[in-house]
Amino acid sequence: MGKAKSAADTLHLGCERSSEKESNIVNGELVLRKIQPAVERSYAKKMQLWLEYQKQKPEASPDDLRSLKDFVRKMAYSIDGEEGIEVSGSETVRKYWNTFTAAWQRANPKQSIPRGIAHSVTEYINGPLAEEMGIPNIKRSRRFATKKALLNYARQLCAADWVEYKRPGALIDDWGFLLGNAYSSSRIGEYIESSCRAGTGRGLHFKVMILCLIRMLLYRLTVARTSLLLYSSTR
């Protein structure tokens, strides 16, 4: 091992190497995280809602807990319910609130909403507001692809798609994965949508089983080979 560099040597080396490149990235401008256009539109919508609320109540401030509670309450009552439930779910209201806090932080990076106040509003949504609105503590039922949606997808995949696959069987594999992901009671969806990476220890265990079926059909030997993927627990 080489001799450890002192703080002065480290800084001197960094100055020498960085001076070789002309750069204007060191400035006093705030750097914001890049977001998708859909997220940006959602942020703009929530900020517009807050600005409209401030027009009605000029004294409203993101530092005032009473103002934020009233704002969230009005926002919650404006959300339409679904599937026979007249009111919105507490999870929906909480997501609206989180979107607003993120939008405010992005628009006002030097004047963020205090963490204690933001946490208090979250508990207000799950507690007093949920009780007042009669929000049921249940999740929405799962939705599955309809027959019409699957037919439209099949036409697009097999007839209208411009992609040229390397092998014809790829279309069949894609169709099978879609049906398995949409309707299977196993965890095929987790396998397809997994965020696992090699070497991280995260992901799904699986093994391949080969079943060979031998049968006599009109005195002719027929051999069928089938591969099955069996999934076990997540690491």
pLDDT tens across 2-35, in order?
678 888 988 888 888 888 777 888 888 888 888 8
Query: For residues 88 and 133, what is the distance between their CA atoms, to the nearest angstrom?
Result: 9
Q: Give yes or no for a contact between 47 and 103, defined as CB atoms under 8 angstroms apart.
A: yes
Question: Once rounded to an integer, what is the mean pLDDT over residues 195-212?
Answer: 57
3-state secondary structure of 198: coil
pLDDT at 2: 67
3-state secondary structure of 35: coil
Q: How many CB atoms within 10 Å of residue 168?
A: 7
Q: Give yes or no for a contact between 98 and 68, defined as CB atoms under 8 angstroms apart.
A: no
| Least confident range of 71-75, 96-100, 176-180, 181-185 | 181-185
Query: For residues 207 and 224, what is the distance between their CA atoms, to the nearest angstrom?
Result: 20
Write down the pTM of the prediction.
0.57
CA angle centred on 65, ends 64 and 68, rounded to 5°: 90
Query: For residues 99 and 194, what is the distance between their CA atoms, to the nearest angstrom?
Result: 25
Whether 112 shows a pLDDT value over 80: the answer reads yes
pLDDT at 99: 94
Taking alpha carbons only, the member of 33, 29, 56 closest to residue 102 is 33
Using 50, 70 and 90 to split pLDDT, how confident is the model at 235?
very low
pLDDT at 128: 92
Query: For residues 26 and 31, what is the distance between their CA atoms, to the nearest angstrom?
Result: 11
pLDDT at 144: 61
Whether 47 shows a pLDDT value over 90: the answer reads yes
Whether 58 shows a pLDDT value over 60: the answer reads yes
Using 50, 70 and 90 to split pLDDT, how confident is the model at 222?
low
Whether 215 shows a pLDDT value over 90: the answer reads no
Question: Once rounded to an integer, what is the mean pLDDT over residues 115-138?
Answer: 88
Task: Take residue 157 and report the two structure tokens written for it.
Answer: 């995949």
Cα atoms in the Cβ-side hemisphere of radius 13 Å centred on 171? 15
Question: Once rounded to an integer, what is the mean pLDDT over residues 180-184?
Answer: 65
Whether 162 shows a pLDDT value over 80: the answer reads no
Using 50, 70 and 90 to split pLDDT, how confident is the model at 110?
confident
Query: For residues 179 and 136, what is the distance between their CA atoms, to the nearest angstrom?
Result: 32
- The per-residue b/e assignment along 74-110, b for 16 or more CB within 10 angstroms, e otherwise, is ebbeeeeeeeeeebbbbebbbebbebbbbbbbbeeee
CA angle centred on 118, ends 112 and 120, rounded to 5°: 155
